[in-house]
């Protein structure tokens, strides 16, 4: 039995599950409750879908479909979880897909109708989940708490993308989840860092404090990167904690060619996937679109399957590009794939990473030329004329 709780967020389609999940995880992060959100439905969403501009979400969001293989992978990762989880389970699970429920411990149910709550209550009870909350979602209407024990019941309103705010019901629910997700960040961090595979561990929170980032609103900015890199020696290292993809890539490239390990809540400590480049590369588990300019090559990477599997991606071949041009990497992909791709292209004059929430600029993470220094920005849209685009 896995010791970490897994709280399923369940309800019919269009009930506001994804927005509620986002609001809860943001509030829990603010309260320093360590956890991870597992999107156990193949819709390609993540926090970026709430934080990015709407046009960016339309560009990046990819609908997938459930399959037995997808469900197998979700169940495997749930069973071996390394952190407490919040699980977004999708709105129309079949009996086979309900295998995911058997690896969860608790449930938060939300629906716009009484019938929807009844249906999902029966699902949760059938799989032995402890129900924490049952919420009626409305587009227009005030939050209302009808009961707070033993199950939190009430009405929650305005769960719309980009406009949702943490209201009274979401705050009350976050307090309930905090009680269930009972491991403190200090306890979890001590446990995970003690199992790190290298002597040097870069704790992202500790690094942020070292360079003076504010404690309350700790958002990494590109200007912070040169200061962060000055704190990192050229040696094998392990990287732990929440941080943007470009920070992870920059730290790994700073250590290269020494070994780097990343902590992934699904996988534990793993090196980034090992990738090679070849002119004969063909899309498979990972696909891509390439935009070429006179100065750089932009590679937009996309999952070739709804649920990326580390072991199937490891050893993948990416397209070889003009070695005289810089590389810009983007894509809604896990850190272990972003960092693996960055390491594969590190021989280029400079390399930039695009953060999904800021899908207009690349952030330079390594460079051998004066024009592009780590932390500087590369404008991707609006003021350049691509020479060639392929995919």
Q: What is the mean pLDDT of residues 89-107?
A: 88
For residue 30, CA distances in Å to 35, 62, 98, 106, 174 come to 12, 29, 31, 22, 11
214 has pLDDT over 50:
yes
Nearest C-alpha neighbor of 328 from the set 350, 302, 357, 347:
350
Instruction: With cut-offs at 50, 70 and 90, classify the pLDDT of residue 57.
Output: very low
Q: Do 178 and 41 fall into the same domain?
A: yes
What CATH number did the domain enclosing 50 receive? 3.40.50.300
CA atoms of 370 and 169, how far apart (whole Å)? 52
236 has pLDDT over 70:
yes
More confident call, 31 vs 2: 31
The confidence score (pLDDT) of residue 73 equals 84
- pLDDT tens for each residue of 282-302: 998 899 999 999 899 999 998
* Cα atoms in the 13 Å half-sphere on the side-chain side of 32: 11
Which residues span the domain enclosing 148? 6-183
The confidence score (pLDDT) of residue 219 equals 85
Q: Do 88 and 229 fall into the same domain?
A: no
Q: Do 316 and 251 fall into the same domain?
A: yes
Q: What is the mean pLDDT of residues 111-116?
A: 95
100 has pLDDT over 70:
yes
CA atoms of 172 and 152, how far apart (whole Å)? 8
Residue with the two structure tokens 């500790």: 206
Nearest C-alpha neighbor of 196 from the set 237, 148, 233:
237
Q: Do 115 and 233 fall into the same domain?
A: no
Is the distance from CB of 280 to CB of 320 less than 8 angstroms?
no
Q: Which two tokens stand for residue 61?
A: 């969001």
Structural domain includes residue 1: no
Q: Do 215 and 267 fall into the same domain?
A: yes
Q: Do 159 and 233 fall into the same domain?
A: no
Q: Do 211 and 307 fall into the same domain?
A: yes
More confident call, 6 vs 164: 6
Structural domain includes residue 44: yes
Structural domain includes residue 109: yes
Q: Which of 148, 167, 183 is the last residue of a domain?
A: 183
Q: Which of 159, 183, 207 is the last residue of a domain?
A: 183
The confidence score (pLDDT) of residue 45 equals 39
- pLDDT tens for each residue of 132-165: 999 999 988 889 999 998 999 999 988 876 555 7
Q: Degrees (nearest 5) of the Cα angle 123, 129, 130?
A: 125
Q: Do 31 and 176 fall into the same domain?
A: yes
The confidence score (pLDDT) of residue 308 equals 79
Q: What is the mean pLDDT of residues 9-36?
A: 89
- pLDDT tens for each residue of 319-342: 999 999 999 999 988 999 999 999
Helices (H), 159-202: 168-180, 185-194
Please, what sign has the CA dihedral across residues 332, 54, 388, 347? negative
The confidence score (pLDDT) of residue 1 equals 66
Average pLDDT score, the chain: 86
The confidence score (pLDDT) of residue 339 equals 97
Q: What is the mean pLDDT of residues 348-374?
A: 91
86: number of Cβ within 10 Å = 24
Q: How many domains are there within the chain?
A: 2
Instruction: With cut-offs at 50, 70 and 90, classify the pLDDT of residue 54.
Output: very low
Q: Do 11 and 124 fall into the same domain?
A: yes
More confident call, 55 vs 3: 3
Q: Do 168 and 300 fall into the same domain?
A: no
Element (H, E) at 365: strand 361-367
Q: 88: which strand partners?
A: 9, 39
The confidence score (pLDDT) of residue 111 equals 96
């Amino acid at each position: 039995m896995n010791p970490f709780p897994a709280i399923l967020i369940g309800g019919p389609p269009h009930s506001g599950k994804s927005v509620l999940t986002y609001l809860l995880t943001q509030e829990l992060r603010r309260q320093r409750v360590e956890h991870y959100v597992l999107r156990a439905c193949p819709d390609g969403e993540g926090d970026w879908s709430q934080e990015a501009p709407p046009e960016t979400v339309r560009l990046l969001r990819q609908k997938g479909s459930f399959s037995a293989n997808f469900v197998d992978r979700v169940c495997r990762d749930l069973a071996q979880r390394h952190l407490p989880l919040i699980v977004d389970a999708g709105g129309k699970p079949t009996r086979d897909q309900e295998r995911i429920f058997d690896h969860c411990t608790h449930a938060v149910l939300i629906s716009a109708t009484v019938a929807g709550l009844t249906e999902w209550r029966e699902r949760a009870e059938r799989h032995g989940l402890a129900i924490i909350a049952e919420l009626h979602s409305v587009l227009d209407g005030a939050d209302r708490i009808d009961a707070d024990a033993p199950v939190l019941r009430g009405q929650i309103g305005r769960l719309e993308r980009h406009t949702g705010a943490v209201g009274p019901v979401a705050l009350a629910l976050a307090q309930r989840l905090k009680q269930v997700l009972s491991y403190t960040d200090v306890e979890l961090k001590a446990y995970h860092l003690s199992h790190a595979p290298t002597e040097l561990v870069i704790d992202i929170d500790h690094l942020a404090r070292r360079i003076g980032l504010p404690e309350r609103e700790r958002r990494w900015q590109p200007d912070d990167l040169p200061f962060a890199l000055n704190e990192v020696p050229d040696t094998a290292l392990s990287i732990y904690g929440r941080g943007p993809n470009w920070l992870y890539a920059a730290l790994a490239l700073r250590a290269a060619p020494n070994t780097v390990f990343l902590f992934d809540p699904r996988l534990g400590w793993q090196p980034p996937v090992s990738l090679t480049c070849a002119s004969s590369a063909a899309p498979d588990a990972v696909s891509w679109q390439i935009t070429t300019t006179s100065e750089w090559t932009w590679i937009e990477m996309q999952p070739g399957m709804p649920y990326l599997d580390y072991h199937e991606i490891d050893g993948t071949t990416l397209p070889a590009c003009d070695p005289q041009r810089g590389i810009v990497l983007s894509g809604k992909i896990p850190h272990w794939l972003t960092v693996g791709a960055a390491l594969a292209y590190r021989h280029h004059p400079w390399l930039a990473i695009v953060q999904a929430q800021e899908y207009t600029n690349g952030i330079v993470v390594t460079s051998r030329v004066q024009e592009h220094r780590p932390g500087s920005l590369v404008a991707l849209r609006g003021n350049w004329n691509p020479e060639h685009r392929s995919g």
